[in-house]
Structure 1
Amino acid sequence: MFDSLKKLRRKLRIKKNVERLFKENEYYHSLFAKRELRVPLEAELFDYFRKLFPLIEKKSKGQLRILAVFPHYNWERDALLPSLRRFGEVTHYDWQPKYDHQGKDWLSGQKQRMNSELIGLVNDLVQKGAVDVIFTYLSGELVFPETVQEIASHGIPVVNMFLNDKEIFVGKKKKDAAQGMRDICRHFHLCWTSTEDALEKYCVEGATPIYLPEGANPEVHRPYDVEQDTDVSFVGQCYGVRPMVAGMLQERGIAVSCYGYGWPNGPLSTEEMVKMYSRSKINVGFGGVDNLKEMYCLKGRDFEVPMSGGFYLTEDNDELARCFVPGKEIATYRDFEELVSKVSYYLKHDEEREEIRRRGYERALAEHTWEKRFEKVFTILGVLKAD
């Protein structure tokens, strides 16, 4: 009985979320068309920032002074900081554990104190002439619009990256404030989104957006020379359809080793996770947004697995197909039956699987590093000399 009620609540939650997201998308798409807005081209962004910051002195790679503002949950520090340090000296502000933005008193006091501390840090660096560009990974849950306004008022370019616009560009509202990007995005100089269809939303809200997918850090995500002792694996949290799909594969005679929070095996360390990508003949991925049908988004795993030299089989996604060639650099599936079919096929065709794995690794290393992403952003902002 309790399981049935739990499943019913889950279905209702998903239905409500689907309705909310489709309504939100239609609202922004309609306004974008009505106002005759246009997403800026890359060449236009270069020109815009050249005029916005006419006195900025471009610096060579390795000479920038960067303030990086983001919390570390599980991947951020290892992926982002080493890549940023290739461009120069990095000051990293992570408010955890001093402030807990998931705590009960976040809205009643901690958020204000954290925001004040961040403003103080920026003011201090600016007064010392010790910052050339500010990179943030923030949302409305974490900062007030006024905080972003203050940070961006010093003539120092501020770029914010947000990787969950597909689902929470607006998000939940607390005290009438959107927890996503809606209320704060217009105050950043540049908004980096990994969701292509969020570009219209940013434009409607008066922001300047750029679409760039996630990346991976080859210093961390690299191939290991280990025995391939695992046929099929999945690394990620246990939620939504994932346990059901894993169970259905087991019923078809396909053993899947699953790791992450919620699975019996538990999570892996970063090194163990990357080694698992090499140990596995097939690394399975899920591209859906919170179990929403026909709604997909890019995942960090989409780049980390190929960068780690793993063979990657994930859900079909138009955006991912512009990053890797399906069937040549990665493999994709559209439904459960195709997943079963392709797992069975590639387990029997070692040479073809190896060739796809090799091409995926080469593409990831050439085009999809975090360093490449930052290089493009800093060049567009006008703080980095182009090679």
Structure 2
Amino acid sequence: MRTRRKYANIMASARAAGSHNGYTLGFQNGRRLGRCETVIRAITKESHIRHGMSVLCITSGLGVPFAPIDKAVLEALQMQVARVGAVSALDDIVKTARDFKPDLALVLLGMRVEPETVNRLKAMGIRTAIWYSDDPYYTDMTRNTARHYDIVFTNELSCIEFYRQHGCRYVFHLPLAAHFKGFHPKPVRVSYMSDICFMGSAYWHRVEFFDQIADYLATKNVRIFGIWWKRLKSYSRLKSSIQTKWLTPEETANYYNGAKIVINLHRSPHDETFNKNSARIPAWTTNPRTFEICASGTFQLTDAREDLTGLYVPGRDLIVYSSPEELVSKIEYYLHNEEERNQIALSGLDHTVRNHDYHQRIATLLRTINELPI
């Protein structure tokens, strides 16, 4: 009888604790989502000019992470031009262009579009533009294709002079952005929740960095997603926190929304194992995750890039770290300062909604093209 009573007391205590924790978690997340909704509702979105042109969008022909960019660009084009056609880089581009008769052929990424194809489009009287979205990592390849286009847009600020030196007359910086249909504040199940989250492949400089903070991360509720993470020396310590796979954009957004802190650690432009960047062009512009994390209304800790201050205000919209030790210190601080953490996340959300979606990028692209004397 005494044993039964003791067991009943333990169960009652556990139920009470679970109920309290569930209530607290629900309250915190509901409050966060309510504040995010208030921020979004307060923003009056600018209506973009609808151009009377027809555009054939030549998509990357690749999967994640490029296919979601293709989708976001197509959606933005459909809102801003008279006619939009789409063809994969793997399909018959010239035939599609001949049938569709566009004013402009816009190539996304372009890794699978041959220069001869671009030349044939130009011979048909079609203006050609490319938006490189993975610069500067494969510039050994892009420098041989860029000069065939009438207009070059690059996600990387440091590549503007590079392309000009390789014969491109019109070159413009156009960073990537957030696709708000995929990345926005939303409720998620408890299984998506964590203290700390990181998304990205285990390039060697990331492996070295995470090995230095592995002991700390092992004490937290951490989620790490991406390929090659078995390279970690400390993999056995973090194994339960790692999933070595790509996630869909929807799943990525779920984990962002469930995290208290999302770490952003940019890829190195000088990793000769994977990159094709023999000119060693630096990487100044932030990656797409910078925009996507903020668009999710989640607090971001990111390493700094030179162009970051041209896109966000560090200290207001997100927080910057410069070493493993500083990252650990700031994680610890912001995990224990919820209101400050949430206020920065809200500011990042506000700034992203106002300035960094694909509708705004496409508006800039179309305006730039229409103002050129060609």
Normalization by structure 1: what TM-score?
0.69
Q: Which among 204, 224, 230 is matched to residue 194 of structure 2?
A: 230
- Does the CA-based 8 Å contact 2:197-2:223 persist in structure 1? yes
- 1:65 and 2:54 equivalent? yes
Read off the aligned partner of 1:185 and give its amino acid letter: A
Partner Cα distance (2:290, 2:177) in 1: 8
**CA shift at 1:237, angstroms?**
2.0
Read off the aligned partner of 2:54 and give its amino acid letter: R
Structure 1 stretches lacking a partner, 5+ long:
1-58, 97-113, 171-179
- Closer, same or farther: CA 136–257 of 1 in aligned 2, 3 Å: same
Read off the aligned partner of 1:91 and give its amino acid letter: G
Partner Cα distance (1:212, 1:190) in 2: 12
Please give the per-residue CA displacement for 1:2-44, whole angstroms capped at 9, x wherever unaligned.
xxxxxxxxxxxxxxxxxxxxxxxxxxxxxxxxxxxxxxxxxxx
Partner Cα distance (1:91, 1:368) in 2: 24
- Does the CA-based 8 Å contact 1:83-1:217 persist in structure 2? no
- Which shows bigger deviation, 240-249 or 306-315? 240-249
Partner Cα distance (2:333, 2:151) in 1: 45
Q: Which among 162, 167, 178 is matched to residue 216 of structure 1?
A: 178
Read off the aligned partner of 1:316 and give its amino acid letter: A
- Does the CA-based 8 Å contact 2:269-2:281 persist in structure 1? no
**CA shift at 1:64, angstroms?**
4.1
Please give the per-residue CA displacement for 1:282-341, whole angstroms capped at 9, x wherever unaligned.
000111325659944421111111112111111111112210111110111111111111
- Closer, same or farther: CA 375–294 of 1 in aligned 2, 3 Å: closer
- Which shows bigger deviation, 200-209 or 148-157? 148-157
Please give the per-residue CA displacement for 1:131-181, whole angstroms capped at 9, x wherever unaligned.
232210244x523323212212334332101123323222xxxxxxxxx22
Partner Cα distance (1:354, 1:124) in 2: 52
The match for 1:94 is 88
The match for 1:144 is 114
For residue 86 of structure 1, give the secondary structure of its aligned residue in structure 2: helix
- Closer, same or farther: CA 325–206 of 1 in aligned 2, 3 Å: same
- Closer, same or farther: CA 168–77 of 1 in aligned 2, 3 Å: closer
Partner Cα distance (2:332, 2:179) in 1: 31
- 1:347 and 2:335 equivalent? yes
Q: Which among 253, 256, 274 is matched to residue 274 of structure 1?
A: 253
Read off the aligned partner of 2:132 and give its amino acid letter: F
- 1:193 and 2:151 equivalent? no
- Closer, same or farther: CA 201–295 of 1 in aligned 2, 3 Å: closer
Partner Cα distance (2:125, 2:363) in 1: 20
Partner Cα distance (1:301, 1:158) in 2: 28
Partner Cα distance (1:204, 1:150) in 2: 24
The match for 1:22 is none
**CA shift at 1:122, angstroms?**
1.5
Partner Cα distance (2:353, 2:319) in 1: 18
Please give the per-residue CA displacement for 1:37-76, whole angstroms capped at 9, x wherever unaligned.
xxxxxxxxxxxxxxxxxxxxxx951754321112241123
Read off the aligned partner of 2:258 and give its amino acid letter: R
- Closer, same or farther: CA 60–369 of 1 in aligned 2, 3 Å: closer
Matched ranges for 1:171-320 at <5 A: 180-207=141-168, 208-226=170-188, 229-252=193-216, 253-263=219-229, 264-265=242-243, 266-289=245-268, 295-296=282-283, 297-320=285-308
- Does the CA-based 8 Å contact 2:183-2:292 persist in structure 1? yes
- Closer, same or farther: CA 187–291 of 1 in aligned 2, 3 Å: closer
- Closer, same or farther: CA 209–295 of 1 in aligned 2, 3 Å: closer
Read off the aligned partner of 1:344 and give its amino acid letter: E
Matched ranges for 1:84-163 at <5 A: 84-88=77-81, 89-96=83-90, 117-126=92-101, 131-139=102-110, 141-163=111-133
- Closer, same or farther: CA 62–144 of 1 in aligned 2, 3 Å: closer
- Does the CA-based 8 Å contact 1:234-1:257 persist in structure 2? yes
Equivalenced residue count is: 293
Q: Which among 371, 374, 385 is matched to residue 362 of structure 2?
A: 374
Partner Cα distance (1:284, 1:345) in 2: 14
Please give the per-residue CA displacement for 1:208-250, whole angstroms capped at 9, x wherever unaligned.
1001111111111111134683110011223323344334333
Partner Cα distance (1:269, 1:168) in 2: 24
- Closer, same or farther: CA 63–294 of 1 in aligned 2, 3 Å: closer
- Closer, same or farther: CA 205–370 of 1 in aligned 2, 3 Å: same
The match for 1:38 is none
Partner Cα distance (2:316, 2:288) in 1: 20
- Closer, same or farther: CA 290–381 of 1 in aligned 2, 3 Å: closer
Partner Cα distance (2:104, 2:331) in 1: 46
- Which shows bigger deviation, 74-83 or 280-289? 74-83
Read off the aligned partner of 1:338 and give its amino acid letter: E
**CA shift at 1:195, angstroms?**
1.3
Percent of residue pairs identical: 25
Read off the aligned partner of 2:185 and give its amino acid letter: P
- 1:359 and 2:338 equivalent? no
**CA shift at 1:81, angstroms?**
2.3
| RMSD between superposed Cα atoms in Å | 2.6
